[in-house]
Amino acid sequence: MAELFTGDYIQINDSSGTSATIHFRNIVEWINEGIFCVNGEGKILYANDQFCRNLGYKRDEIIGSLIFDYFWNEDQIKISKQKLELRKKGLSDVYEIIMKKKTGEAIWVRLSGKPVFDSNGNFVATVTIQADITKPKLLEDELRNAKEDLEIKVITRTRELSEANLKLNEQIRERKLAEISKLHTEKRFRDIYINSPDAIYIESLDGIILDVNAATCKLHHADENFLIGKSIFDVSPPEVHEVIRKRQPKLISGEITKFESECVTKEGEIIPIEISTAKIQFKDKPALLMHVRDISARKATERLQLNLNDELEKKVLERTAELEAANQKLTAEIQAREQIQQQLETQKNFLRQIIDSIPNLLFVKNPEGKFLLANKAVADFYGKTTAQMEGHYDDVQNFTQEEIEYFAEQDKQTLASDGDVNFPERAFTHIRKNEVVWLSTTKKTIPSLTENEKNILGVATDVTTLKKAKEELALSEQLYRALAGNLPKAAMFIFDKEMRYVVAEGPLIGIVSRPKAEIEGKTVHETIRSSEVETVVNMYREILTGKEREFEQTFFGRILRINHIPIRNENGEIVYGMVMIFDISDIKQAQRELEVRAEQLERSNEELERFAYVASHDLQGPLRTIASYLQLLEMRYKDKLDGEASEFIRFSVSGAKRMQLLIQDLLTYSRLSNTPKPFATVDLSEVLNTVQSNLEATIHNSRTQINVPDNMPAVFGDATQLVQLFQNLIDNGIKFVKERNPVITVHFNENPNEWQFSVSDNGIGIREEFKEKIFQIFQRLHNDTEYTGTGIGLAICKKIVQLHNGRIWFDSREGDGTTFHFTIQKPKEETQD
Ligand code: ADP
């Protein structure tokens, strides 16, 4: 047996008689897995380097030792012992087991064992190939821990790998066994070489095929004669030639021992292959042993897998896209719905706001009296919120029992009717405002939205104001009637916007118009003659648009004053038109008579004034003569006449003097109107200076104090007349004083259109009752012996003031002084607005 393993070379004889010597070491080293042989007791007869490396021992330590010592535990040892016994009986198989390294680490191995029998059939030894499968084992664990979603793929792949692995192992086993057999029998080696399911060929270092096995022929669809002697380039597709060229030296140097490539069949079909190489001696020359495996199936599977993956990925993408599209559609649909929902909500709110802002009471009830809708006005009226009303029946509202019954009756009538049902105005107590409100209600049926029944829509309007207005109108109508009825010679017509007569009243009705019964309640068209109706309608239309007019018109010899008056309500809106007719014929007549009389008076006044002037002017001469002669008589016959005659003459002289004074004053007065002078600007300071110098002696004798403002204004007037005016007033003020020194004060005041002056004294005063009389000519309150005077002074003052478009009056308290006031109009351009 030992000599079996001592030889370094194996002679291979093929059927044709050619032989090859294969270096045993080369073969065992070429197989890069552990190989060992044990005898029947389990003693290790042979172990290759790889086996020693796998377990971490030196060959010397291993050879001769028992194989059982290298198993992990008792169980494993037991299995290996059983296997040895079975080998002796001829079993060849593959099993996995745990061995123990020198370092104490475990090593998973796959053992492919085969017995070797000699030519007599006696058991010689086992030959076992040991493959380290620790890494795959660990990988398996890792894979187990892989992610859940990859698990199926991993399992599938693992299964595929396991199957492939199994196949591979079987192939390896068979190959190895065949090879091992050839270690000691040429025939056996030849069998292994020739019958190996994997293609094996030997090529020279420059790539010429030297030998091939049957599987190689099969792979290339050619016989060995075709293949042997060909270059490897001939059996490879041109695309890989460059790669082959570069790889060849690396194969020779042993740098590359395993690679993938492609070969080409005789017909030109390209087949993917996996190649393991080993350097051998072939016919005493170094050569390369090429162990070729067809990997088309694996490649196809890989391609299939890739295709499947691609397809799956594509499908996933398609499905994802579909789902995304569907999702987008769905999202858009949801958004659209949401939008519609929002729009509906907005619309609903909008409608609700409108309904709630309606001032009328608006509600919808179902036939059982449940409020389906009640607007804010309804809720306010009953002191509730809309939410408290809606969804509830009449009986939980703030209604009285009587109201509930009344409303039920209304609803009954409404449901029985087709159209609007108007209910008479009725008073209710407004719960919130606590006041009586008149409501006018209209109800009608409306179809229910959801059920096949009718609901009731109600609208109630607050007619309190209208009702009051009607009442007030009735009252004012009465007033109008009373007024017009009692006005003498008047007629009154009131008409509404439709030009229908509401009132026709007054004694002239039936005289200037048709009788009352034919007017009231009738329209203008029904009452006025067609030839005049257009004029009247136009006139009435003007009144109704606010035109007020007053004009006179004759009517069968009578004079009528006609007033057009628009009648407005409290808001200023025109609600009626009124025409008032007064018969003013009598008034007109009286007025005309008055005017005639005034004219006559004016004329006689003028004549009188002329007469007074002429008389006073012409009387002065004779009077002067009388007075002169009387004085002459008195002088010349003073001693000849007795005392009585002298007295008479003195009286006559005094009378004549007084008459002279009277006539002078009268002449002054007459001149005022008969000899007018143009007005000019007059400085009143100068006027008052003149007055004071004219009255100098009087002022001095009576010890009068006169107060005049420094800033007396200038006025527009007649200077002489103004001197006369102030002089008369101041003179009177000095004259009518008793038992005190006179004090005269002048004041002035400026008004927009006139100047106002006053002259006050501290005299005897004038009683109120004489306020008119003292300004009349020749009117005096005292006799001449008490206070001298002619009674013309104030008449002159009045006349002067009148000529200056002013007024004169006085304030006085008897015994306490008098203040005379007068005004002088400013010239037009000077007046202030
Ligand atoms: P006469 O002064 O010449 O009597 P007037 O016309 O000036 O005439 O006055 C009329 C009358 O008015 C006077 O007689 C006098 O009784 C009364 N009277 C006028 N001025 C005053 C006055 N300042 N105080 C009191 N009485 C006056």
pLDDT, tens digit (0-9, with 9 covering 90-100), for 400-441? 888 888 888 999 999 888 888 999 888 888 888 888 889 999
**Closest-CA residue to 750 (of 683, 824, 676):** 824
When pLDDT is averaged across residues 581-610 and rounded to a whole number, the result is: 85
Task: Provide the b/e sequence for 786-821 (b: ≥16 CB within 10 Å).
Answer: eeebbbbbbbbbbbbbebbebebebebeeeebbbbb
Confidence of residue 691 (pLDDT cuts 50, 70, 90): very high
Confidence of residue 657 (pLDDT cuts 50, 70, 90): confident
Which tens digit of pLDDT belongs to each residue from 35-71? 888 999 999 988 888 899 999 999 899 999 999 999 9
Q: Which residue has the higher pLDDT, 763 or 305?
A: 763
pLDDT score of 18: 44
> Best mutation site among 698, 774, 821 for ligand 1, i.e. most ligand atoms within 8 A of its Cβ?
774
Position in ligand 1 atom list of the atom nearest CA 775: 6
Q: Is 414 helix (H, G, I), strand (E, B) or coil?
A: helix
> Best mutation site among 668, 706, 781, 785 for ligand 1, i.e. most ligand atoms within 8 A of its Cβ?
781
Instruction: Please answer whether residues 130 and 33 qualify as being in contact, where contact means their C-beta atoms are separated by less than 8 angstroms.
Output: yes
Sheet holding 371-374, edge to edge: 371-374, 361-365, 454-462, 435-447, 421-430
When pLDDT is averaged across residues 517-541 and rounded to a whole number, the result is: 91
First vs last Cα of the chain: how many Å apart?
A: 161
> Best mutation site among 702, 731, 736 for ligand 1, i.e. most ligand atoms within 8 A of its Cβ?
736
Q: Is 237 in the pocket of ligand 1 (CB under 6 A)?
A: no
Which tens digit of pLDDT belongs to each residue from 196-211? 777 888 899 999 999 8
Q: Is 575 in the pocket of ligand 1 (CB under 6 A)?
A: no
CA dihedral 508, 512, 514, 517 (to 10 degrees): -20
Q: Is 782 in the pocket of ligand 1 (CB under 6 A)?
A: yes
Nearest CA to ligand 1 atom 3: 789
pLDDT score of 23: 53
Question: Is pLDDT at 140 greater than 80 in this prediction?
Answer: no
Instruction: Please answer whether residues 468 and 493 qualify as being in contact, where contact means their C-beta atoms are separated by less than 8 angstroms.
Output: no
Q: Is 661 in the pocket of ligand 1 (CB under 6 A)?
A: no
Question: Is pLDDT at 19 greater than 50 in this prediction?
Answer: no
Which tokens go with 612? 């007074």
Which tokens go with 146? 């892989």
Bridge partner list, 224: none
pLDDT score of 7: 41
Position in ligand 1 atom list of the atom nearest CA 780: 14
Cα–Cα dist 469/20, whole Å? 143
**Closest-CA residue to 576 (of 630, 517, 497):** 497
Strands 558-568 and 501-505: unpaired
How far away, in angstroms, is 820 Cα from ligand 1 center? Answer: 11
Q: Is 742 in the pocket of ligand 1 (CB under 6 A)?
A: no
How far away, in angstroms, is 709 Cα from ligand 1 center? Answer: 25
How far away, in angstroms, is 791 Cα from ligand 1 center? Answer: 7
> Best mutation site among 777, 780, 784 for ligand 1, i.e. most ligand atoms within 8 A of its Cβ?
780
Nearest CA to ligand 1 atom 7: 793
Residue corresponding to tokens 């009648």: 567
pLDDT score of 28: 61
**Average pLDDT for the chain:** 84
When pLDDT is averaged across residues 394-398 and rounded to a whole number, the result is: 71
pLDDT score of 144: 57
Q: Is 499 in the pocket of ligand 1 (CB under 6 A)?
A: no
pLDDT score of 654: 82
Which tens digit of pLDDT belongs to each residue from 756-808? 999 999 999 999 889 889 998 888 888 877 888 888 899 999 999 999 999 99
Task: Please return the burial class of 76, using the count of CB atoms within 10 Å of its CB with bins 0-12, 13-18 and 19+.
Answer: middle
Confidence of residue 737 (pLDDT cuts 50, 70, 90): very high
How far away, in angstroms, is 732 Cα from ligand 1 center? Answer: 6
Q: Is 790 in the pocket of ligand 1 (CB under 6 A)?
A: yes
Q: Is 812 in the pocket of ligand 1 (CB under 6 A)?
A: no
Position in ligand 1 atom list of the atom nearest CA 792: 6
Q: Is 736 in the pocket of ligand 1 (CB under 6 A)?
A: yes
Q: Which residue has the higher pLDDT, 625 or 162?
A: 625
pLDDT score of 204: 92
Question: Is pLDDT at 727 greater than 90 in this prediction?
Answer: yes
Nearest CA to ligand 1 atom 2: 789
Low-confidence winner among 60-69, 113-122, 171-180, 320-329 (lowest mean pLDDT): 171-180
pLDDT score of 145: 58
Q: Is 682 in the pocket of ligand 1 (CB under 6 A)?
A: no
Cα–Cα dist 606/615, whole Å? 14
How far away, in angstroms, is 793 Cα from ligand 1 center? Answer: 8
Confidence of residue 11 (pLDDT cuts 50, 70, 90): very low
Question: Is pLDDT at 184 greater than 90 in this prediction?
Answer: no
Q: What is the DSSP letter of 826?
A: P
Give the CA distances from residue 467 to residues 314, 463, 728, 733, in Å, rounded to whole numbers and listed in that order: 85, 6, 71, 70
pLDDT score of 150: 54
| Angle at 207 (CA atoms; ends 202, 212), nearest 5 degrees | 25
How far away, in angstroms, is 735 Cα from ligand 1 center? Answer: 8
% of the chain exceeding 90 in pLDDT: 32
% of the chain exceeding 70 in pLDDT: 89
pLDDT score of 487: 79
How far away, in angstroms, is 784 Cα from ligand 1 center? Answer: 11
Question: Is pLDDT at 509 greater than 50 in this prediction?
Answer: yes
Non-local CB neighbours of 47 within 8 Å, separated by 6+ positions: 34, 35, 36, 37, 59, 62, 63
pLDDT score of 678: 86
Strands 19-23 and 9-13: antiparallel
Which tens digit of pLDDT belongs to each residue from 142-163? 655 554 455 566 566 667 776 7
Which tokens go with 710? 């420094």
How far away, in angstroms, is 783 Cα from ligand 1 center? Answer: 11
**Closest-CA residue to 131 (of 49, 32, 30, 58):** 32
When pLDDT is averaged across residues 608-632 and rounded to a whole number, the result is: 79
Q: Is 673 helix (H, G, I), strand (E, B) or coil?
A: helix
Q: Which residue has the higher pLDDT, 449 or 281?
A: 281
pLDDT score of 1: 33
How far away, in angstroms, is 686 Cα from ligand 1 center? Answer: 25
